[in-house]
Structure 1
């Protein structure tokens, strides 16, 4: 391992220690530092071996965080993970971080909170706005309709 690769490995380890990253995040950062090709792959392999880089761990913390902190639905979380190169097993593990009961409760709470901000006399308009809001947050339409239906 050359000195420049060792240096890149040190910098990349600090980059990964700061917060969870994907392999693509590290690859992009290495490119910015002028490290690519086999050298970049060698650094990434070393980071994985030293457990600085773990895509399953990243996917789980990303999904859990976006759900708990931002109230995102599974569709939006899945889409963002896929954009970051997370697929298959890691994607499935991330989705398991969200408990079905918590998911439904969070959606109901989001809709209640949003309803209090809406000013309209027409209940259909309010319902339409709530549905649009929940869909934009990444919740599945059948789940949204179920929750809204149980409130009437």
Structure 2
């Protein structure tokens, strides 16, 4: 628990900075406010202020989260969707966020990642190699039909 006691104004300024530094979801902001020792009424008041002044926008958060996790961590749609669900993002915003990833880019990134992983695994047994690469791609949240088609393609190459 934080030893400093924050006024609503101080907490509001602190959270404006917290939200402008990086897009946040409502859950992160509520958790942060609770860690500052804010009472529920103050939390609600600050959340409303942050939304009205566009510091907090769940749709914007979901879209930037999806783009970032796909482009940087090479996550597939299942992983992105599950991570957004864990953050209590609405189905509407999850759907909108997944549309942020162009289909061509998505497929291209999948093939590049699969081939890079395939080439990095030093395994002589083709079945074991296939399993290792498949497991890796499935953990990253890629669709199973993509993974299995790619494994068959790489194995026969």
Q: 2:112 aligns to what?
A: 109
**CA-to-partner distance for each residue in 1:49-92, whole Å, 9 max, x for gaps?**
00000000000000100000010111111111111111221111
Q: Does the alignment pair 1:94 with 2:97?
A: yes
Unaligned runs of 5+ in 1: none
Q: Distance in 2 between matches of 1:69 and 1:36?
A: 37
Q: 1:64 aligns to what?
A: 67
Q: 2:37 aligns to what?
A: 34
Q: Does the alignment pair 1:7 with 2:23?
A: no
Q: 1:84 aligns to what?
A: 87
Q: Distance in 2 between matches of 1:128 and 1:10?
A: 50
**TM-score for both structures, normalised by structure 1:** 0.92
Q: Does the alignment pair 1:128 with 2:131?
A: yes
Unaligned runs of 5+ in 2: 1-5
Q: Does the alignment pair 1:118 with 2:87?
A: no
Q: Distance in 2 between matches of 1:132 and 1:32?
A: 38
Q: Distance in 2 between matches of 1:120 and 1:33?
A: 51
Contact kept in structure 2, 1:13 and 1:52, CA below 8 Å: yes
Q: 1:48 aligns to what?
A: 51
SS at match of 1:70: coil
Q: Does the alignment pair 1:148 with 2:151?
A: yes
Q: RMSD over aligned Cα, in angstroms?
A: 1.4
Q: Distance in 1 between matches of 2:51 and 2:75?
A: 29
**TM-score for both structures, normalised by structure 2:** 0.89
Measure how far apart 1:148 and its partner are. 2.8
Q: 2:26 aligns to what?
A: 23
The count of residues paired between Structure 1 and Structure 2 equals: 150
Q: Distance in 1 between matches of 2:12 and 2:135?
A: 45
